[in-house]
Amino acid sequence: MKTKSNYSNKKILVLGLAKSGFAVAKLLKKMGSDVTVVDSNPLEKNTEAKALIDDGFNVITGSNDKSLIDDSYDYLVKNPGIFYSNELVERAEELNIPVITEPEIAYSYSDATMVAVTGTNGKTTVTTLIQLMLKHSPKFKNSYYAGNIGIPISDVIQKATKDDVVVTELSSFQLQGTISLRPHVAVLNNIYSTHLDFHKNRANYIKAKMHITKNQTKDDYFVVNWNTEEWRNLADQSNATIVPFSDNQELANGAYAKDDVIYCNGEKIMNTDEIQIPGEHNVQNALAAISVAKMYDVSNEDIVEVLSSFTGVKHRIQYVDTFGGHKFYNDSKATNVEATIVALTAFKKPITLIAGGLDRGNGFDELIPSLKGKVNNLVVYGQTADKVIASAEKADVSNIVKVNDLKEAVPEAYKQSDDGDVILLSPAAASWDQFKTFEQRGDQFIQEVETLKGEVK
């Protein structure tokens, strides 16, 4: 193991449970830490808290008051989604107690090679593609994925050995709480403006993202989207060996697309129309994955096999069903405007769009060019409904309907749509006004489509 003793005999408070909090608490105890878990949810329906109590953990539920931490603690491990304005987190910082997140703990334990992926959009797709490609690498016995993709890193690294690779999706929330994290390969897929309610401004958001490469050296690799000047300039902040990829320019070294053909280091890999998942953005996702796969000697044949058979990540432009002359797609993971723009550009057919969700204070005028001439019908709900409507009217979307929730939105979208339309859930907003997670939102969409199918037959 790398530095298994780092947290041995340290007094650590784990703030927030869910999957990652539960997993990291168990790992810390295995590492010999003195662990206290704090979760604001009451004990009655808190299954994770009950399970930890049964295992002998000290668990405090129903509160996260600042009095629960004092200067006897060595670390606070924060659930990534908890804001730094949380009073317990603020108190820890006042006491100069390091506030870290699960990836920092998991990295310290693991001997496996780590490939880490971040970016505003496409993280899950790129992470999945890399993991599938590295299954074919002669350099690894096993290939795993973990992280923001929905599987705690703390669980996966306990079974991964030095002969394995763990491909880890890392959000800005996770990366901000890292100190020594140093992946052998880091991937920056893109950066747009989002999560500014959490990070306060774009500069802070980018700074958090760049934690992915801050400890890398020239012996490591930083795979960077070369499409914009901003992203190219970010590469200057890294000490790693830079590996660029692009779909808008030819590169002497790196992966690029030209005339509907993908090349890597000058060698033809495949045609872009062999990629199974729709959309120009998925060419970029493929280029990022290919960049990593070729580092680890994955053959062109295996790369093509993965990209020609992979049908997409759940909740990310996920094909759901076809009936009544309509194709239904679930893009619940589109929690920001940029992700919805990507989804809208992925389709050539007219779209009936379902959008809306948590109001983070941003507007939606960036959607206007993508809505124009593309979206025939719009069904909106949630806190942002009126803001989305205002932007859609500027885009001359002729048919707009406002409903109360997603349950009403699906049949209404079907009712308003024309034969041949794509019916697309791509909210352009977080789910937390009506759902706990974007996964829950996407699952309900799938369920409502299934219900609708039964009714229209």
Helix spans in 251-405 (H): 281-295, 300-309, 337-345, 368-371, 385-394
**What DSSP string runs through 39-58?**
ESS-GGG-HHHHHHHHTT-E
Helix (H, G, I), strand (E, B) or coil at 448: helix
Return the sign of the alpha-carbon dihedral for residues 41, 431, 175, 155: positive
Q: Give the separation between CA 452 and CA 446, rounded to whole angstroms.
A: 10
Residue of 136, 72, 91 lying closest to 302 (CA atoms): 136
**Judging by beta carbons within 10 Å of its beta carbon (0-12, 13-18, 19+), is residue 115 exposed, middle or buried?**
buried
Residue with tokens 């993709």: 149
Alpha carbon of residue 455 to chain centroid: 34
64 is in an annotated binding site: no
Q: What is the Cα gyration radius of the chain?
A: 23
81 is in an annotated binding site: no
122 is in an annotated binding site: yes
Q: Give the separation between CA 249 and CA 245, rounded to whole angstroms.
A: 9
Which strands sit side by side in the sheet containing 11-15, from one edge to the other? 58-61, 34-39, 11-15, 75-78, 99-100
On whether the CB atoms of residues 157 and 104 are closer than 8 A, the answer is no
On whether the CB atoms of residues 316 and 125 are closer than 8 A, the answer is yes
21 is in an annotated binding site: no
Phi, psi (degrees; rounded to nearest 5) at 311: -100, 0
228 is in an annotated binding site: no
On whether the CB atoms of residues 152 and 192 are closer than 8 A, the answer is no
Residue of 379, 388, 390 lying closest to 424 (CA atoms): 379
356 is in an annotated binding site: no
26 is in an annotated binding site: no
Q: For the chain, give the number of residues.
A: 457
Neighbours of 60 (CB within 10 A): 16
Phi, psi (degrees; rounded to nearest 5) at 91: -65, -40
Tokens of 77: 């491990």
Q: Which residues are annotated as a binding site for ATP?
A: 119-125
Q: Which residues are annotated as a binding site?
A: 119-125
